[in-house]
Amino acid sequence: MSSLLESTRNTRAILGESMRYIRSDAVTAPTGRDLSFLLAHDVQTVIDLRTEAEAAARPCPLARHPSFRYHLLPVTGGDRAPATPFEVPQAYFAMCDRQMARILGLAEGAPGGVLYFCNAGKDRTGVVSALLLHRLGYSDDSIAADYMRSAENLSDVLAEYLRLHPDTDPQVITPRRAYITSFLRLLRERGY
């Protein structure tokens, strides 16, 4: 699996060929080709889903680029990993608050293309992607297929993380189809 940007590992369009919504891992060192790609596809809005501390530690240069409207909108609770695999779908649902409504409203109302990202482009970015696709009427299977692409794109990154953090449950940080389908079921059950 390849990333749309040279400087990232997990950048892809969620609507296939359309570049309206582009999800990614953190864009912290975009190349000239990356900038050309974004500009050629009319990406005008950049939404950084990381916390202020995460964004300060690894800044996004697009925040200062005149061609982009950069918004730092941290996803509530997105910087904390669930303790068990059972908690992953509930942690995803807990992200669906007023801040998430702001993020979705900005993305849906933005002119041109929208690039949004967190650190790995997996959980917070996955929730935003799932919600956008859900609101556009995509099937659970399509949403799960998009979500699962992160497992392939990030396999070596996740393996390295587990090597550095041996106490972490690999099931918690590895994308699983059941996590996103359970999250989608929670959305329907709770009328989101």
Model confidence pLDDT, tens digit, residues 167-180:
989 899 999 999 99
CATH at residue 50: 3.90.190.10
Domain membership of residue 5 (yes or no) is no
Domain membership of residue 191 (yes or no) is no
Q: In whole angstroms, what is the distance from residue 148 CA to residue 178 CA? A: 10
pLDDT at 1: 59
Q: Give the β-pairing of 69-72 and 113-117.
A: unpaired
Residues of the chain with pLDDT below 70 are 1
Give alpha helix (H) positions in 110-154.
Answer: 124-135, 140-153
Burial classification of residue 190, based on how many CB atoms lie within 10 Å of its CB (0-12 exposed, 13-18 middle, 19 or more buried): exposed
Domain that holds residue 30: 12-186
pLDDT at 161: 87
Return the structure tokens found at 88. Answer: 């992953």
Domain membership of residue 150 (yes or no) is yes
pLDDT at 77: 85
Model confidence pLDDT, tens digit, residues 131-166:
999 999 999 999 999 999 999 999 888 999 899 989
Q: In whole angstroms, what is the distance from residue 167 CA to residue 73 CA? A: 30
User: What is the number of structural domains in the chain?
Assistant: 1
Domain membership of residue 4 (yes or no) is no
Domain membership of residue 7 (yes or no) is no
pTM for the model: 0.95
